[in-house]
Amino acid sequence: MAEITRIYSQWGQAPEPLWREMLGSRLRELRTERGETLSGTAERAGISPQYLSEIERGRKEPSSEMIAALAGALDTTLADLTFAVTEYLRRLSSTGTGTGAFTRAAGTQAVGTGHAAHTPPVALAMAA
């Protein structure tokens, strides 16, 4: 089974962050701003705390229904949540950095990448 590890926009540039990573960061920030635990938010969204943790860390790609449930559990709208993530990704794209951190104005926390500049445009890893 093959797993795409990162897609690079140009040689020598760091990869763009993945949607799921930025979404997870935004969800975590919303939760912590409210002073809530993983368990409390997960219970209201109808998922396990472990699954919410994986979403927040960008390890799982939640369905649109799950994203809507999490938005509701955090007293925001699906539109506001996706807009915040999209705007941050748009800003990254316009600066050409491909990496960075959400600022407080953009609405979420840091997400690093740490890939070497000599990596080819598309990197694939094979899993046994």
| Residue carrying structure tokens 């790609």 | 61
Number of domains comprising the chain:
1
Taking the C-alpha atoms of residue 33 and residue 66, their distance in angstroms, rounded to an integer, is 20
Domain assignment of residue 66, given as a range? 2-126
pTM for this prediction = 0.66
Taking the C-alpha atoms of residue 128 and residue 121, their distance in angstroms, rounded to an integer, is 23
Single-letter code of the amino acid located at 82: T
Question: Which tens digit of pLDDT belongs to each residue from 3-55?
Answer: 555 555 555 566 778 999 999 999 999 999 999 999 999 999 999 999 999 99
* pLDDT attached to residue 12: 59
* pLDDT attached to residue 8: 54
Nearest residue to 67 via CA among 36, 31, 79: 79
- Left, alpha or beta for 120 (phi > 0: left; psi -120 to 50: alpha)? beta
* pLDDT attached to residue 83: 95
Single-letter code of the amino acid located at 78: L
